[in-house]
Amino acid sequence: MNRITLMGALITSFILVQPTLVTGQGKELSDRAKTMDTNKDGLVQKNEAKGPLLSNFKDMDCDKNDGLDGVEISGFFTGAGCPKAAAVEPLFRVTLLGTGAPPPRAGRFGPATLIETDAGSFLFDAGRGATIRIFQLGGEHPLRSRPFFAKADKLFLTHLHSDHVVGIPDLWLSGRMFGRGTPLQVWGPEGTISLMTNLQATYAEDIRVRSRPGPAGRALAKANKVIAHDVGPGEVYNQNGVSIRAFMVDHRGHTNLKHTFGYRIDYAGRSVVLSGDTKYCECVIEAAAGADLVIHEVAAVSAQILKRVPFFKRLEINHTSPENVGKVFAAVKPKLGVFTHLVTYGVSPDEIIKRASKTYSGKMVVGSDLMRISVGKLVRVLDK
């Protein structure tokens, strides 16, 4: 068999296999949605990080959907595109690095969201395990992970609760070893400069013993630096077409927390809004006007657990119920609404969707760690 004949056979085999891959993908996602469960006492969600919780499955074909193929899930798309060409849109991708809360669950790391654009990458909060998730983006390979660490040099904090900042030392110090050659820049509410100044003092000995002479030492010294900014509401970043605006939210509850932000990120005519930690607040609706993607925190505790642990009632004071998140989505009408920072006890992801559906009938998904979302003309949940 000559080279041309062999190449033709390979191409034919590839084309014939493709429909099976698309069909199988839809079945796999459907099966994933059935794995959500709770254990008998309702305290821990089982299998909740295996895949996104999806609703309203229906098949889709290329001819009716501007060149996209595969499966439509609540109106957004997952999987490969159709063979016919489509215009290439600017990169605007969201990765949920951590969708958890204070409970140290292995399947849901602490709050952290990575946004990648053609103009740079931006990390929002650095909860427990954020650095591990970034390493996973490169397949846990020290070389393939380097581009992700190299770009993870801009961190924006919603507030200074420990579950949102406990991963900063790891991001800062491990990041310099695995690809970041620039100072770590940190923006956040009042207290951010103090936090980062004290972290530098805490790890001064580690920095000293790892210092070395020569060009390698000078590069490491650059990566050791921290540039921190205390910011208030308003635009806090505007470079190369990326605008990031902080807005005040309401996470005071029974505490005296004064400064808590959500963030709006605008790029290439598209926008993403992160609620940060907040109770139901019109401020999120106002800031998210016209947004393509809204990512909102959620809290829910079963009646059984509330009876056993009345203290958990406070969670509903500081956070937003599924029904109220649904109200936010209904007012904003994004292309996709996503639940993150799951402060949940005895309430499964299925139940979150069910409860939110009482107030919102649009497209929504319960986030999972390492879920990737592409933002463009369409908002698509991408395969892991």
Both structure tokens of 83: 């063979």
In terms of Cα–Cα distance, which of 13, 251, 383 is closest to 5? Answer: 13
Question: Beta-carbon neighbour count of residue 141 at 10 Å?
Answer: 10
Q: Distance of alpha carbon 7 from its chain centroid, rounded?
A: 41
Classify residue 210 as exposed, middle or buried by CB count within 10 Å of its CB (0-12, 13-18, 19+). middle
Residues designated as active site? 163
- Cross-strand partners of 373: 94, 381
The beta strand positions in the chain, using DSSP E, are 37-38, 45-46, 57-60, 70-73, 76-78, 92-98, 112-117, 120-124, 154-156, 184-188, 226-230, 234-239, 242-248, 261-267, 270-274, 293-301, 336-345, 364-366, 371-375, 379-382
CA distances from 76 to 55, 86, 291, 367, 382 (A): 11, 17, 15, 14, 10
